[in-house]
Structure 1
């Protein structure tokens, strides 16, 4: 199963692969070179397909849990000052996605979208300390009765050139469902209320819609 955002890229990749196969077969007489070029064309298509894969996941909804919004590795757990929306201290948990991870963004909890904003910006590597403030990104705030308000930020990386964000202010969203997509390598930051119990460790692998990032203390 592939994500709907991958449609144009998958179509182009398929056309490219077929063209490479046909052109190589017609114009390259050296057998080993022809096979090498054809394999390269198929490899490009396979890379595109695996990047846009969208495995079906049914989240176990729980109002006391914050679920991982994306697949990847936990790279930051710290208390920070969040200056865009809250303008106070929060617990930040960041998950880095490599190009081989599933890049679907999922809602970390049930609630109402209170804020959603897109910021154009740079394309620093996603783990750069200033990426959260200077890169292309979206900021989304969800509110519910259990946690109050949490913020997540989709951040483009050095390869990412498009962030897709489905959250709109006033929407009622469901934990674990599709919130968007980031193309080709990126990071997502979560900003949680102080006192929230963190259930993950640095360098731990997170699975979007499955891994419990935090619980209500």
Structure 2
């Protein structure tokens, strides 16, 4: 299954794949050239296709835990000053997404969207210390039943050129549903209340809508 954000790009890629191979057949009769062009273009198409995959997940909705909003690797767990919305200290869990990860963003918890804001910005590498404040990004705040307000932020990287965010202020949302997509990028930060127990460790690989970042017993 592919994400709807990839349909146009996949169609264009498929048309280019077909056109390139047809043109090669008309230009040359050399078999090795035809096979080389076919092989390279086929690999390119498969890479594009796998980037926009949207696998179904075994989502078990529960207000007692916050799930990872994306697939990737945990690169930071620390107390930081959140300057945009809370303007105080929060517990940050940062997840880095490689080009091979699923890039669908999912709601980490059920609740109501209290804040949703897009910011234009730079395209620094995702692990750059200033990327969360200077890169293209979106910030979404959800009012949850057990954790109060939690914030997650999609951050573009050096390759990502477009962030898609579906969250609308006042919207009632369900944990694990699609909340957006980062095309060819990068990182998502989750901000939790100070003192929230964390179930993951730095370096751990997480799965969107399945891995529990935190759980209240």
Q: Aligned partners of 2:160, 2:88: CA distance in 1, in Å?
A: 29
Aligned twin of 1:29: 29
Question: What's the offset of the Cα at 1:20?
Answer: 1.4
Counterpart Cα distance in 2 of 1:216 and 1:138? 27
Gaps of 5+ in 2: none
Residue matched to 2:56: 56
Q: Contact 1:67/1:210 (CA < 8 Å) preserved in 2?
A: yes
Q: 1:144 Cα deviation (Å)?
A: 1.6
Q: Is 1:155 matched with 2:187?
A: no
Matched residues in 2 for 1:41 and 1:130: separation?
A: 37
User: TM (normalized to structure 1)?
Assistant: 0.98
Q: CA deviation at 1:34?
A: 2.0
1:67 partnered with 2:83? no
Check conservation: 2:161, 2:185, Cα contact below 8 A: no
Q: Are 1:58 and 1:176, in contact at CA under 8 Å, matched by a contact in 2?
A: no
Partner in structure 2 of residue 207 of structure 1: 207
List aligned pairs for 1:103-142, cutoff 5 A.
103-142=103-142
Report SS of the residue matched to 1:197.
coil
Give the superposition deviation at 1:145: 2.3
TM-score normalized by the length of structure 2: 0.98
Report the Cα offset of residue 170 of structure 1.
0.2
In the alignment, the residues of structure 1 paired with residue 153 and residue 144 of structure 2 have an alpha-carbon distance, to the nearest angstrom, of: 18
Structure 1 runs of 4+ with >4 Å offset: none
CA distance in 1 between partners of 2:58 and 2:107 (Å): 12
Query: SS of 2:109's equivalent?
Result: coil
> Unmatched 5+ residue regions in structure 1?
none
CA deviations over 1:98-155 (Å, ceiling 9, x no partner)? 1110000000001100000000000011111111000000000001220000000000
Distance 2:185 2:143 in 1: 28
Match of 1:76 in 2: 76
Q: 2 CA distance for matches of 1:189 and 1:216?
A: 20
Higher mean C-alpha deviation, range 36-45 or range 181-190: 36-45
1:141 and 1:79 map into 2 onto residues whose CA distance is 18
